[in-house]
Amino acid sequence: MEPGISIVIPAKNEAASLETLLPAIKRVCAGAEILVVNDGSTDDTVRVCQEHKVRHISLPYSIGNGGAVKHGARAAQGHLLVFMDADGQHDPNDIPRMLAKLEEGYDMVVGARTGNSHAGLHRATANGLYNRLASWMTGQKIPDLTSGFRVVYRQKFLRFLYLLPNGFSYPTTITMSFFRAGYLVTYVPIKAARRYSQSRSHIRLLRDGFRFLLIIFKVGSLYSPLKLFLPVSIVFFLVGLGRYLYTYFTSGRFTNMSALLLATSVVVFLIGIVSEQISALNYKDSERREHQD
């Protein structure tokens, strides 16, 4: 394994799983930099990192999974970044396969979980909806939009750092950003193991359900907002037109509801146009940053 590879692991209270994960990574990726970003943990994460002699960064308080990833990307020394979870779900043995795929000419390789690797039916259903929406938006098959296991060139990843949120939706943002910028993204099938028995997920269904719904809108706003707003505008227009035709032939009048629906369709369409321009400016700014680097 070349020294130009940095394995970035955001961790919050995952000391128990890191005890097993870190030695496994060292066996498979000898010579690679291993960087654990301690996201305000209250357990023995620092002690475990010191015992296994891996580099670690301790944040004074928790800023979220995405925030920890950004800190790790800035601090990493390798030109290739490998991101993986600290909870034991990702198998280090998949890293060489992903790196080999990257060498075929891709800019980012993502570990795509198989159908039985998702934690619960609700998670698998939600991810399936996200994948289909993202595939429709980009015109490319996206088997796993939210996977946190990926290999990417550091300089290209840093281009979009300012767009990434601090929460759990960072994989969605970086994936759609790469597609929007015309970078080549591919997927390698992986089987995610069950979360380490003593480790609890930091994602709560009730607390984060609304946030995951926002991923749908983030997908649209990052890639092509008009492609998301236009169908909504058409629905309002057709409903308004249908309402108008109904009231015209039944009572010979044009109602306020018809006017409201038709006006809403125009407003939604215009919002899509403006959002499209804002999105284009965002990526123009990222291209300027790349040329400056």
Q: How far is CA 232 from CA 135, 176, 215, 238, 263, in A?
A: 18, 21, 17, 10, 13
253 and 135 share one domain:
no
Q: How far is CA 170 from CA 54, 262, 269, in A?
A: 25, 36, 28
29 and 66 share one domain:
yes
What letter represents residue 14's amino acid? E
Point out the domain boundary residue: 175, 194, 223: 223
DSSP state for residue 44 in the 8-state scheme: S
155 and 210 share one domain:
yes
pLDDT at 198: 47
The model carries a pTM of: 0.79
pLDDT at 206: 53
Total of domains in the chain: 2
In three-state secondary structure terms, 240 is helix
Its domain, for residue 123, covers: 5-223
182 and 270 share one domain:
no
CATH of the domain at 105: 3.90.550.10
Point out the domain boundary residue: 172, 197, 223: 223
pLDDT at 233: 96
Whole-angstrom distance, CA of residue 144 vs CA of residue 167: 18
pLDDT at 48: 96
One DSSP character per residue, 259-275 reads HHHHHHHHHHHHHHHHH
- Give the pLDDT means over successive 10-residue stretches in the chain (293 positions): 84 94 94 95 95 95 94 95 94 95 96 71 72 84 91 94 84 89 93 63 54 68 81 95 93 91 95 85 62 55
pLDDT at 292: 55
pLDDT at 163: 83
pLDDT at 197: 45
